[in-house]
Chains A and B, each alone.
Chain A
Amino acid sequence: MADHRLRAYGALLGAQARSQAAYRASFAVDLVGNVGATVFDVVTVLVIFGVTRELGGFTLRETLVMVGLSACAFATADLLVGNVERLPAYVRTGLFDAVLLRPLGALPQLLLMDLPLRKASRAVFGLAVLLVALARAGIEWTPGRVALAVAAPLAGVVFFGSVFVATATVSFYWTESGELANSVTYGGRDFTSYPVTIFDGWFRAAFAYGMGFAFVSYQPALALLGRADPLGLPAWMGWASPTVALVAAALAATAWRVGVRHYRSTGS
Chain B
Amino acid sequence: MSVIDVRELRKEFTVRVRAGRLRREKRTVAAVAGVDLRVERGELLGYIGPNGAGKSTTLKMLTGVLTPTSGQVRVCGLRPVPERTRLALRVGVVFGQRSQLWWDLPLRESFDLLRHVYRVPAAAHAARLRRCRDLLDLDAFADTPVRQLSLGQRMRGELTAALLHGPEVLFLDEPTIGLDVVSRQAVRGFLAELGRAGDTTLVLTTHDLADIERLCPRLVVIDHGRVVHDGPIAALHDRYGSRRLVVADLDTALPQPPELPGAPLLRVEADGHRLVFALESAGVADVVAALAGRAALRDVSIVEPDIEDVVARLYAGKEGPLVNASGRAGAPS
Contact = CB atoms under 8 A, between A and B. Distances in A.
B142 to A, nearest CB: 16
B174 A101 contact: no
Q: Which of B86, B89, B119 has the most CB of A within 10 A?
A: B119
Contacts of A98: 95, 98-100
Most chain A CB inside 10 Å of its own CB: which residue of B64, B89, B118: B118
B119 A15 contact: no
Contacts of A103: 85-86, 88-89, 117-119
Interface stretch (A5-13, A44-52, A151-159): A5-13
Given A263-B65, A265-B65, A12 B99 contact: no
Interface string B32-55: 000000000000000000000001
A118 B97 CA distance: 30
29 contacts: A7-B119, A11-B117, A18-B105, A18-B109, A19-B104, A19-B105, A94-B97, A95-B98, A97-B60, A97-B95, A98-B99, A100-B63, A100-B64, A100-B84, A101-B65, A101-B88, A101-B93, A101-B100, A102-B100, A102-B118, A103-B89, A103-B117, A104-B117, A263-B66, A264-B66, A265-B60, A265-B66, A267-B56, A268-B173
Given A101-B93, A102-B88, A264-B66, A19 B118 contact: no
Contact of A15 (B64, B67, B102, B174): B102
A3 B88 CA distance: 18
B145 interface: yes
Contacts of B100: 98, 101-102
A4 B57 CA distance: 31
A24 to B, nearest CB: 12
Contacts of A10: 116
B79 to A, nearest CB: 13
Interface in B80-139: 81, 84-86, 88-89, 93, 95, 97-100, 102-105, 109, 113, 116-119
Given A19-B104, A265-B66, A104 B85 contact: yes
A105 interface: yes
B145 A97 contact: no
Contacts of A29: none
Given A15-B102, A94-B97, A265-B66, 11 more contacts: A7-B119, A8-B119, A12-B117, A19-B102, A22-B145, A102-B118, A103-B86, A103-B88, A103-B118, A103-B119, A261-B67
A264 B64 CA distance: 12
Contact of A94 (B81, B98, B102): B98
Interface of B: 13, 55-57, 60, 63-67, 81, 84-86, 88-89, 93, 95, 97-100, 102-105, 109, 113, 116-119, 145, 173-174
Contacts of A262: 67
A101 B104 CA distance: 20
B144 to A, nearest CB: 13
Contacts of A11: 113, 116-117
Contacts of B119: 4, 7-8, 103
Contacts of B98: 94-95, 97-98
A15 B66 contact: no
B85 A105 contact: yes
B26 to A, nearest CB: 13
Contacts of A267: 56
Contacts of B56: 267-268
Contacts of A101: 63-65, 88, 93, 100
Contacts of B95: 94, 97-98
B84 A15 contact: no
Contacts of A102: 85, 88, 100, 117-118
Interface in A1-57: 4, 7-8, 10-12, 15, 18-19, 22
Contacts of A265: 57, 60, 65-66
The residue among B55, B84, B89, B117 with the most chain A CB atoms within 10 A of its own CB is: B117
A71 B115 CA distance: 39
B93 A15 contact: no
Nearest to B145: A22
Interface in A220-268: 261-265, 267-268
Nearest to B52: A267
A4 B89 CA distance: 13
